Structure 1
């Protein structure tokens, strides 16, 4: 079987897969767009001191919110906007997570912005991503638009006033604040930043050591020469274990069921070749981005149509490190097909190098209860531990846990139907950025940003102050489906919150396909006057 090129897709970034053959033709030079727009006064804390009403209010100063602001400046100069961020600084996920080794699990050619070239290794550390985001903020002057430490409590829509009014509390001063906007752009992500998901196991209070969730990692946690058990086998565990193993006495990955892993070098061969040829960074970024996306589409298709072949390719990478005699069952052979959950990339095979060295090991079993000396398994074995890390996932945060009201009526988000997976029936003047699971989050954030700017332009042309998705007469008998098909993608954090999420329809524009290759054409071509959007 020919190589699937797993190493060069977004889940790896190895670049040992397919290259563009024989000649890469760049049709037009890619140039950075200049940005303009009003500049606002700031306080020492960076809080914008413009009017309390703005045209657009962006919630969240992570990768989605910063990207949204860039698009507003580039595509709608003169639009007034501000960004509300509950944390002390920008970065979202990359500020929240501070555990050892924290890094991206998507390549930065697609996780990075279309408008700003990525010039580092495909898989990046949190610090590198924060630096990249900081450069966008500085280049665009966005610091003047961001209000940090603003925790939003309520979002109230008034049709009479044609505006959203948001209330909340400044976490640095305790002061209440109110701000209003004509359009609300929710860029806060999809999980709760203040806490991760930790199941309740019997005996947790009996454990003599410390229990830590990676999302709330203590700055002063000392794990040197300690016996560590990491519960979980996703990307977080795969990152933590090789980062901690050199300093621990031993670290054990305890999993209830296995995860698929892809291994490869943290490099992209094509990018290196183009740089060696002194191709401009903008061109290199776009060419490699397209290569990665093309290979991602191939692997996603192969995972559905020929899952056994994809499994074989994934297992080859593990055996290349652990040896052909290593029994992959039960630790690395999931019951589901590849891509029903994310495939965790292990750059340079560091997780498996840790196992090979003897500093790390894997146990596949279920937990009976915690005991003073560690964890007793269903098999009766006791895993002794000084420190237990629960890498057990996220808690979903629907619309940032903000209480929404539409004309004095509480919003039941689960009763709405998504319009192109970003706006919702009965909810005026609001877009929510919900990215891709299998492809990089930012790809969809960029598509939505272009769409929102086009929609705002269209509203200006119509002289409309309100836009709200509504099912049309021809949609009356349309079937409704869950927000995400559990047969297609079913991680625990999503399944636990699926009942809180909107529905999707069975036809356009009410489907939420999670398909970048379809949406990259559908969003720009979306008919804004097909009756699914009502203007006033």
Structure 2
């Protein structure tokens, strides 16, 4: 089965895919598009994860779209609120006629002679083919069907319930249970305070600590500005205020890590009281922002620990028993429910198999261009947000750049754009975060170069200047006409 050809095919109907569709409608009116979504509704991450307390760990004034003010009032919104926000965006723009649910894109082939992508997707009635001029992959950065799960000795002996957060059933009742959460990342930090009131006791078991900082759930500046200014203006001011604040904190952490660490630990000690060993349980071995900070809205993570409803144990697992977990220190943790909040499996471009003119694409052989395209792959961009700030900040810039590229193709009468690096350019691994899921998948990722546009930046304002205002024809991007291309054939570039 094949549907009609479109100008842009978007894979994924989460925050990034819906954002791309909006930018197309606004900046490239008249371009046809289609959105393929493997799930049965909009939302992506915010539809998949249903565990207790699921929320954004970035403030919504920067995580929200630049074009759609966040008016809910919550600085850190829960999953359903974010899903509704994205769905409302799609509904307001009339996107539902362009959405195809239950379609999982599995392979995409580029043909330079026709300058078209052919994407194969598994649908309700079998494999479908979708043809497009431009392919935008908005499928996130991790595997939706499987979270990361280390091998635990004796896990099969445990008699209680063992549930990964990525497979959580909303109807599961954990009332009165002794719960052990394995992990210390954002998921664990969200689960502990959300479950503490109903559970008998919640224990967060970690091998090593994570930086956890209390953040206010109300932005008083935003609330004041909404009262005295139009909604869009108030939102824009709040957004840039928060962007600057985030950049300032990140730069302080990079330049004065010891000072920032001391301040974070002092805050934690004050929130937890004198009976908790902060140096043991909340003082990581790495520097602040070498891995992502965990946000505790209004310090909600610390409250149940201070009240005795929850606790943190820093130790290593020896093996599972029928009733819990035996630690290497000799301590045994009793549990009715164990939640392995052990992270994600990173998966670039949704695991789609890419083929360019008959050659299989192996991402590590390529280089990232401006953090959004991949060398020698024509008319294809991917949504990959910031790791040290709100994801959507980079997505908005990426969508703008794609639209500028499409306009440039139309203006120059060319068919496709392909980033081509100097073959002698030094290459180095992507430097994102030291988080486990990046470390485990580093060998599967494209490389980066020593400088722009081949180096990935994690600075919004630097990216904004380069991506929003920088030249499209920057010397690294080649614009070509449809037709046969070989390594021996000179590139037919667009004339300005």
Query: 1:252-401, aligned counterparts within 5 Å?
Result: 252-276=203-227, 278-324=228-274, 326-401=276-351
* C-alpha displacement of 1:363: 0.2
Runs of 4+ in 1 over 4 A off after TM superposition: none
The residue that corresponds to 1:44 in the other structure is: none
Query: 1:18-417, aligned counterparts within 5 Å?
Result: 51-119=3-71, 120-170=73-123, 173-276=124-227, 278-324=228-274, 326-417=276-367
- C-alpha distance in 1 between matches for 2:169 and 2:468: 44
Partner SS, residue 287 of structure 2: coil
Q: Which runs of no fewer than 5 residues in structure 2 stay unpaired?
A: 481-496
Partner SS, residue 90 of structure 1: coil
Deviation string, structure 1 residues 308-335 (Cα, Å, up to 9, x no partner): 2211221232223212564202100000
Query: 1:497-512, aligned counterparts within 5 Å?
Result: 497-512=441-456
Mean Cα deviation higher: 311-320 or 405-414: 311-320
Is 1:52–1:178's contact at 8 Å kept on the other side of the alignment?
Answer: no
Query: So what's the TM-score if we normalise by structure 2?
Result: 0.94
Deviation string, structure 1 residues 381-405 (Cα, Å, up to 9, x no partner): 1111111000010011121111111
- C-alpha distance in 2 between matches for 1:103 and 1:92: 13
- How large is the RMSD of aligned CA atoms in angstroms? 1.4
- C-alpha distance in 2 between matches for 1:269 and 1:220: 36
Deviation string, structure 1 residues 111-141 (Cα, Å, up to 9, x no partner): 0001011112111011111111122111111
Deviation string, structure 1 residues 248-294 (Cα, Å, up to 9, x no partner): 11110000000001103201121122234x32111111111111111
Is 2:205–2:313's contact at 8 Å kept on the other side of the alignment?
Answer: yes
Deviation string, structure 1 residues 386-429 (Cα, Å, up to 9, x no partner): 11000010011121111111111111111001111111111111
The residue that corresponds to 1:23 in the other structure is: none
Query: 1:461-480, aligned counterparts within 5 Å?
Result: 461-471=411-421, 475-480=422-427
Is 1:264–1:317's contact at 8 Å kept on the other side of the alignment?
Answer: no
* C-alpha displacement of 1:222: 2.1
